Amino acid sequence: MIDCQALRWGAPGQLLTPPLNLQRPAGSLTAVIGANGVGKSSLLKVLAGLQKPLSGKVTLDVPRRGGVSFVPQQHHLDRQFPINLQELVAAGSWGTRHTPAMRRLKLQTVLDDWALNGLEHRPLMALSGGELQRALLARLSLAEAPLLLLDEPHAALDELGQALLWNHIHRWHAEGRTLVVVCHDLAAVRQHIVQTLRISPSGCVLGASAELIVQHPHAQVA
């Protein structure tokens, strides 16, 4: 599903890590951890095709159209954009082949799933951080991509929101989708994700989440 060969990324002339060689099979669930500035978000952008690598190669075994869905950190979203929550979430259906009636049904289902009922017509600027985050995740729920990339999806979520998040991550994983999740909540990573990629300036290590977190507790500064 994901094949990185001698991959290097970062700003031009600022390589963040030694070359990364990484293979993740279809249906895998992988956390990404590391300190601030090591390139976790940038790696997801490279995988999503939103940022070009500085060198090396990335191959994704997914359809060219609708094969990848990416949830960025919400500060990249323009809250002044004149749409409401329902319109933001409904954008997740883009590219699917459902009838209008089926799209409306699926939209109502994900709004229920993410406890967003009653907020449908609120503009983005009127949403709390947690409400906006759940809306972004609800939008992902409408997508049918086999590869899901989530950049700090737990940010701004309260206890209910985090429970909904991990329930959905396990549901998507059970459906056979491939997930890569940047997360700085190491306790949650240990509890929910078996395999972790730890990124540091000295290199990238893929291994068992429990072992990597115990060996490198300073990674909590992610």
- Per-residue pLDDT tens over the stretch 19-57: 999 999 999 999 999 999 999 999 999 999 999 999 999
Q: HSE of 103 in the Cβ direction (CA atoms, 13 Å)?
A: 16
Tell me how far apart the alpha carbons of residues 148 and 166 are, in angstroms, rounded to a whole number: 14
Helix (H) or strand (E) holding 139: helix 129-142
Parent domain of 107: 75-143
Provide the number of structural domains found in the chain.
Answer: 2
| pLDDT score recorded for residue 13 | 82
In tens, the pLDDT along 162-210 reads 999 999 999 999 999 999 999 999 999 999 999 999 999 999 999 999 9
**Of 116, 143, 170, the domain-final residue:** 143
For 98-130, letters b (16+ CB in 10 Å) and e give eeeeeeeebbeebbebbebeebbebebeebeeb
pLDDT above 80 for 147: yes
The CATH number given to whatever domain includes residue 207 is: 3.40.50.300
pLDDT above 90 for 222: no
**Number of Cβ within a 10 Å radius of residue 156:** 16
> Is 70 inside any structural domain?
no
Largest CA distance in the chain: 52
